[in-house]
Chains A and B, each alone.
Chain A
Amino acid sequence: MALIEVRDLGVQFQTGDGLVYAVNGINFALDRGQTLGIVGESGSGKSQSVLAMMGLLARNGHASGHALYAGEDLLTMKPAQLNRIRGNRVAMIFQDPMTSLNPYLTVERQMTEVLQFHKGMDRRAARARSVELLDAVKIPDAARRIGTYPHEFSGGMRQRVMIAMALLCEPEVLIADEPTTALDVTVQAQILSLLRDLQRDFGTAIVLITHDLGVVAGLCDQVVVLYGGRVMEQGSASDIFYHASHPYTVGLLGAVPRLNQDDASLVAIPGAPPNMARLPKGCPFSERCNLADAHCVDTMPVLGPSSHRAGVLRACHRSAQQVADNHLAELSSA
């Protein structure tokens, strides 16, 4: 039995414009020590899917499908039971370290309360353990700084504090929602290598949400590519990177700036992210895809195994071969 098993996860929001289907049909399974990357643009539903798993959706949001942790469905659990798992067996870190820590409480208070609540530790023991973890994430002078307030830490250090706080109870799963987006590049690299080390040392399974393909390449075993709330392509990281077979994935990879080529042009995907309240009946990417035809706009492509590579799932009416050919044609005409 996989540690995390997500089946047909969907998220809907009750809005003034009607019911918005932010996420549809997400499936994946994760074992100990594995990393899954969920990639997509803003508004693709990547954050909402993990927020749904953690029971952190907004008031007007509703999750459908199943999110099993150790066989139990997180989506239908009673709140008290979910609270025993959150922060304890499944932990989450968020995108913006500046606002994700309570500015009115000391770091010590925010960390020890996790241990006190989940492990029944007393204040002293909790403090000692917290300092240990702050050391592990390389916060200098941790024993003294733990008594200070979050605003006295820099952005990168705050994110490390968040990571340390999430690992206090040695969770089996860590969900990281764009952990490096708000940080500068050098800090990014440090945080990612930290996550890698922690995974190696603790065997944590990581679900990493990001829009940055570089991040994915460095850390993930499996990748799910989302667009308009639906899975476009899904497979192992090497398959997705070296053998991308969906027009959107191809576009994403093509949009990464290359510093090692003199004549490299930035090839943007034309158009803008979709209005989730008014999606086309068919493939959500059809409006921006240059392989799209009327059939694509009308009929939703089904997510199925690729004919080209084993273990890859793709949702496209065009075959993988057609996508590859079109890509080559574009490259040579650019």
Chain B
Amino acid sequence: MLLNNRRDSLVRSLGDTLDTVVAGRSPWADARARFFRNKAAVVSLCLLAIIVLVCLVGPYMLPHAFDSADWDAMSLPPTLKNAHFFGTDESGRDLLVRSLIGGRVSLMVGMLATLSSVALGIAWGATAGFIGGRVDTFMMRVVDMMYAVPYLLIAILMVTILGRAFYLVVITITVFSWMDMARVVRGQTLSLRSKEFIEAARAMGVPTRRIIFQHIVPNLLGVVVVYTTVTVPGVILTESVLSFLGLGIQEPMTSWGVLIHDGTTVMEISPWMLLFPAAFLSITLYCFNYIGDGLRDALDPKDR
């Protein structure tokens, strides 16, 4: 209690003012508003949605199958003839359809590999962060070792040994994409563990499981979302590189990486074979990057 009555009443009235002036807004609403103010991120989101939609639905609306050879339309540049909007390859297969189907595969691999990397990363990071001590040190050393290794080479080794079945490609990619998430989740868990509100919850006797689900997980969501959007382009890129080198997706399936590789073999005479799939891939990657940046800014604006 302040000794001076006038000062005392001033402080109380200040307290009252604060109550009325500050209308609460949840941090999520805040973040969402910030995200949508970021024009690049919003445009990227729309563009990405369009690409995904087109890849899913497009092939059904086009007259060609992705592996059907159109014998009287071989190696055509983009044309309206026979509705080969992107042109055809040397076997007469329509490039647009192949790009879209390839997109399906690239995106599908991307999604699956991302899901498994994210799951692995969260499990690894949260465990390390929560248990702490020696276990944490060891687990993080493993992460460091994974970083020190040139991943593409090991990936090539794995593909050499294990083969190129679809699920094996996904596994190979996963093995090298979980580390960022693990590191970030571990850091977040560590800092959360020592936060006062967790201690308070513990002191009040809240059971551990409840603490984890009600307090730790929601706080992890932010970083998880951000780093998932960071993981996806990396995963798609890894698949594309492997496929480009002929070590990823196998015939008869195709992906953007395969198409780009095929494109380079004929780019002297048919540059569109290279440029269209390359454009698809690049735009998709760019979109993910901008969305990731936007999310990061939205969820943690001071982190530049």
Write 15 A-B pairs (CB below 8 A) sorted by A numbering.
Answer: A265-B3, A267-B4, A267-B7, A268-B7, A270-B7, A270-B10, A270-B11, A270-B14, A271-B10, A271-B14, A290-B6, A330-B4, A333-B4, A334-B3, A334-B4
* Least distance between B282 CB and chain A CB atoms (Å): 34
> A237 to nearest B CB, angstroms?
28
Q: Which residues of B contact A270 (CB under 8 A)?
A: 7, 10-11, 14
Contact flags B50-75 to A (C-beta < 8 A → 1, else 0): 00000000000000000000000000
- A333 vs B6: C-alpha distance when bound (angstroms): 11
Within the complex, what minimum Cβ distance (angstroms) separates B170 from chain A? Answer: 46
B64: shortest Cβ distance to chain A, in Å?
54
Bitwise interface map of A from 271 to 308 toward B, beta carbon under 8 Å scored 1, else 0? 10000000000000000001000000000000000000
Measured between beta carbons, the chain B residues less than 8 angstroms from A333 are 4
Q: In the complex, what residues of B have CB within 8 A of residue A330's CB?
A: 4
Collect the chain A residues with CB atoms within 8 Å of residue B3's CB: 265, 334
Chain A residues with CB under 8 A of B4: 267, 330, 333-334
The main secondary structure of chain B at its interface with chain A is helix
Known contacts A271-B10, A290-B6, A333-B4; 12 further A-B pairs (Cβ under 8 A): A265-B3, A267-B4, A267-B7, A268-B7, A270-B7, A270-B10, A270-B11, A270-B14, A271-B14, A330-B4, A334-B3, A334-B4
Q: Mark A309-334, 1 if CB is under 8 A from B, else 0.
A: 00000000000000000000010011
Chain B residues, Cβ within 8 Å of A334: 3-4
Chain A nearest Cβ from B12, distance in angstroms: 11
A268: B residues at CB distance < 8 A: 7
Min Cβ gap B200→A in Å is 28
- Residues in A neighbouring B14, C-beta threshold 8 A: 270-271
Q: A-side interface residues toward B, CB under 8 Å?
A: 265, 267-268, 270-271, 290, 330, 333-334
- Report how many residues on chain B are interfacial, defined by Cβ distance under 8 Å: 7
Which residues from chain B sit less than 8 Å from chain A, CB to CB? Answer: 3-4, 6-7, 10-11, 14
Bound together, the chains give a CA A271 to CA B17 distance in angstroms of 12
Chain B: which residue is nearest A269 at the CB level? B7
Q: How far is the CA of A203 from the CA of B14 in the complex (A)?
A: 49
Pairs of residues from A and B, 3 with the lowest C-beta to C-beta distance, nearest first: A270-B10, A265-B3, A270-B7
The residue in chain B whose Cβ has the minimal distance to the Cβ of A330 is B4
| Distance in angstroms between the alpha carbons of A273 and B4 in the assembled complex | 20
Shortest beta-carbon distance from A112 to chain B in Å:
37
Determine the distance from Cα of A290 to Cα of B8 in the docked complex, in whole angstroms: 13
The smallest beta-carbon distance between A266 and chain B, in angstroms, is 9
Which of A268, A270, A333, A334: most chain B Cβ within 10 A? A270
In the complex, chain A residues whose CB is within 8 Å of the CB of B6: 290
CB distance from B16 to the nearest CB of A (A): 14
Residue of A nearest to B11 (CB): A270
Cα separation A267 to B10 with both chains bound (whole Å): 14
Cβ-closest chain B residue relative to A267: B4
Which A-chain residue is minimally distant from B3 (CB atoms)? A265
CA–CA, A330 and B4, complex, Å: 9
CB-defined contacts of B10 to chain A, threshold 8 Å: 270-271
Closest chain-B Cβ to A174's Cβ sits at a distance in Å of: 36
Q: Which residues of B contact A267 (CB under 8 A)?
A: 4, 7
Complex: how many Å from CA A146 to CA B3? 54
**CB-CB nearest in chain B for A268:** B7
Looking at the assembled complex, report how far the CB atom of A306 sits from the nearest CB atom of chain B, in whole angstroms: 26
A271 and B6 alpha carbons, distance in the complex (Å): 12
Report the Cα distance A265→B6, complex, angstroms: 15
CB nearest to B2 among chain A residues:
A268
Report the Cα distance A333→B10, complex, angstroms: 17
- Cα separation A86 to B14 with both chains bound (whole Å): 46
